[in-house]
Amino acid sequence: MIEQILTPWRWQTLLTQWPTLLRAFLTTLEASVLALLLALVLGVIFGLMSTSHHRLPRVVARIYVEFFQNTPLMIQLFFVFFALPYVGVSLPAFACGVLCVGVYTGAYISEVVRAGIQSIPLGQFEAAHSQGFTYLQTMLLIILPQTARIILPPLVNQCVNLIKNTSVLAMIAGGDLMYVANNWATNGNASYGPAYLIIGVLYFLLCFPLSTWARRYEEKLQRQDTQRPAAGKEAAA
């Protein structure tokens, strides 16, 4: 691996194929954005359901979260890609990947949203109710905006996980970065050293700014909370 990375001609052959790489990068990006949208929608819906007063939505949300958090993304993906065609449902690889990564991350985001909602004092709900807000209005206009401060860091961390997880597209020939690198690794030149290094750096460039921002923001919140113990409540009130 190391000697491959230090061999100039391997880099030259790889870099002549930069359009492939660019296309793969865009595929990864596209898959990430689409899956993130799906995950956010599902996350908010199931997050709201898991804080509901009724038992049924809570149970449904619980099952969704437990199932998707406790089984591997890979097996969910393989199920959709290899098993569902037996009952006549065949999706293209890219759609499969986006769907599975989105639904999988949605389970994590719903837990983040739930924790956010539960951190808002009960009085807020009562106050909104007494002012005649409906449930949806209360959630969308009053509760969810307030949770943003707390849930942004874990949300961004989930986004980083999601970007990393789109690499499972490679398993079903989804044409993403990981897939292209695997191809380079197994074709005639076997230039896996440079290939994996390039895509490693590309993934890093996508994820590092996000995760660093999330950590800084979280540390800032912690500092504020320890300096002014009541800060969280004041900001919420």
Partner 1 sequence: MFDQLADLFTPTVLLYLLRGFAITLRVAVIAILLSILFGTILGLIRAYAPKPLRMLAGAYIEWFRNTPHLLWVMVCFIAAPLPSDWARCAMAYVLFTSAMMAEVVRGGLNAIPKGQFEAAHSQGFTLMGTLRYIILPQCFRRIVPTMLSQIITVVKDTSFMAQVAVAELLFRTKNLMSIFYNVVGRQITALDVFLLFGFAMLLYFLVNFALSCIVRYLQKRNHTGLPHR
Query: Given the rule CB under 8 A, which residues bind partner 1?
Result: 1, 66-67, 69-75, 78-79, 82-83, 86-87, 160, 164-168, 170-171, 178, 181-182, 185, 192-193, 196, 199-200, 203-204, 207-208, 211-212
Least distance from partner 1 to the Cβ atom of residue 215, Å: 9
Q: How far is CA 203 from CA 1, 2, 25, in A?
A: 19, 20, 9
Which residue lies nearer to partner 1 by CB, 146 or 167?
167
Least distance from partner 1 to the Cβ atom of residue 164, Å: 4
Q: Measured at the alpha carbon of residue 168, what is the angle toward residues 162 and 174, in degrees to the nearest 5?
A: 110
Q: What is the number of other CB atoms lying within 10 angstroms of the CB of residue 162? A: 24
Which residue lies nearer to partner 1 by CB, 7 or 69?
69
Token couple for 222: 């912690």
Which residue lies nearer to partner 1 by CB, 78 or 133?
78
Which residue lies nearer to partner 1 by CB, 18 or 79?
79
Least distance from partner 1 to the Cβ atom of residue 131, Å: 31
Least distance from partner 1 to the Cβ atom of residue 103, Å: 14
Q: What is the number of other CB atoms lying within 10 angstroms of the CB of residue 166? A: 31
Least distance from partner 1 to the Cβ atom of residue 4, Å: 9
Categorise residue 121: left if φ over 0, alpha if ψ from -120 to 50, beta otherwise.
Answer: beta
Nearest C-alpha neighbor of 196 from the set 228, 218, 170: 170
Instruction: List % helix, strand, coil for the chain (3-state, nearest 5).
Output: 85, 0, 15
Which residue lies nearer to partner 1 by CB, 22 or 75?
75
